[in-house]
Amino acid sequence: MNSKKLLLILVAVVAIGIGSVFLFTGSFALNGNEQASTSEPGNQPNQEEVVTDVESLEKIAKTLAIIQEQYVEEVDEETLIQGAIEGMLDTLDDPYSVYMDQETANQFVESLGSSFEGIGAEVSMTDGTVTIVAPFRESPAENAGLQPNDKIIEIDGESTDGLSLYEAVLKIRGEKGTTVTLTVERAGANELLTIPVIRDDIPIETVRVSTIERDGQTIGLLDITSFSSDTADRFEEGLEELEAQGIDGLLIDVRGNPGGYLDSVEKIGKLIIPGGEPIVQIQDRTGERVRYVSSLDERKPYPIVGLTDRSSASASEILSAALIEAGDYDVVGETTFGKGTVQQTIQLGDGSELKLSLFRWLTSAGNDINGEGVEPTVEVMQPDYFYSAPLTGNETLTLDMMNEQTRSAQTMLKGLGYETGRTDGYFDEQTEEAVRAFQQAEGLNVTGEIDEETASSLQQIIVDEVREESNDKQLQTAIELIIKQAQQ
């Protein structure tokens, strides 16, 4: 391909990109029932700017031609172009703006369907490292013990260094029943963690509806696992079902929810946020804002309480902030992840796509939570064993060893009532006695050592304890709070 032909293609790509951005801006405003802003003639690029842009594109085309014709080794043209695009995105220092080739773009579309096969986790590229944003609720990723901000260093023993985000995603995803082993770096851990995850079908059931009976009160629970294209409809159906039962209060749980479509959370906001209050504000690069205001006829006659954790991201944070700032409702749990930008997928014409950050979103009151998160009104941490790294059983843990696996085992044993005396990862005699007591209680071979059988048993019991509703301090606190408010 000669440089003039490439130049024409680059100009066309730029034109397509600009058109996509303006189209998105217009549809974005219309989705929010707001008047779309239009571009004035004075905002169009002048002739001097166009000439500069063409000169810059000529430089790119010339560089490509020189490399193709003179570099010491033959280089694939598509690889060079893809590298140029990824290089431009790297300079943005934005983990959410990424390039997807045709194969990855197809995989991305599949993940938005009714189900897909994989581990069930939202990931991003942070400081050049593939990083867990949030594992989906009750997914293989969560069950294996992956946590927000875990940095994936290796996939099946191969370094992730140099991989793009979506190249890493393709390696992590795979057929149901197969295992992918992730080596992760976790803040506070003194060594890398090796975490095997068994892939499974990841259903996209985005809203779960249930009720809780307590102290003569019926509390509705809407658990939102992600914000997909039909989530608002499912939420509305669930809300109508609960209200028909005459609920005394409503819990909205977005813990472990990595986010999703903005218009979905906007529609949900209009079902529960008092009319006339902004649900979210969207700010473009010039600082211009569009407010998305609730049109709810009247405030709900029952109290509402939200639930968040460190895995609640993006659209989850929009809803949580709206509950606090616009609804004057309580939110129980932990400070959220802190993702405050909005992405749009822009097609590049050959099946490949750009997923580009086009806007910042601000809370109802105009606060920017990017990198900060939304603080709950009632902060509640779960028991320590909820956050412990999983036991792999790859190595028998014995007296005088010191490592992260021992630390996790100590935390788990202490949570189950076996006093280890310490949780710093040093396997001392008191830890050995706690292990013996656990082994005896569970009918295991009493050795005082944590072998594969003991590790597996301890890990499974902890998983069961985490799933036990009565151990969920955040949920129990939210229930108590909503009963108190319903009785006032």
Tell me which residues are annotated as active site.
314, 339, 343
Longest dimension (CA), the chain: 82
Exposed/middle/buried for 297, CB within 10 Å: 0-12, 13-18, 19+?
exposed
Exposed/middle/buried for 117, CB within 10 Å: 0-12, 13-18, 19+?
middle
The CA distance from 272 to 266, in Å, is 10
Helices (H) and strands (E) in the chain, counts: 13, 19
The CA distance from 279 to 301, in Å, is 19
Rounded to 10 degrees, what is the CA torsion of 337, 327, 263, 237? 110
> Mind giving me the DSSP string for 298-333?
S--SS-EEEEE-TT--THHHHHHHHHHHTT--EEEE
The CA distance from 488 to 334, in Å, is 26
The CA distance from 387 to 423, in Å, is 13
Backbone angles phi, psi at 151, to 5 degrees: -95, 125
The CA distance from 357 to 95, in Å, is 9
Residue indicated by tokens 């867990």? 132
What distance lies between CA 486 and its chain's CA centroid?
A: 32
Q: Are 191 and 392 in contact (CB under 8 A)?
A: no
Percent of residues in the chain assigned helix, strand, coil, to nearest 5: 40, 25, 40
The CA distance from 46 to 79, in Å, is 33
Residues 6+ apart with CB under 8 A from 312: 134, 254, 255, 256, 257, 320, 333, 336, 337, 374
Strand partners, 208: 223
Residue indicated by tokens 């304890």? 465
Helix (H) or strand (E) holding 4: helix 3-31
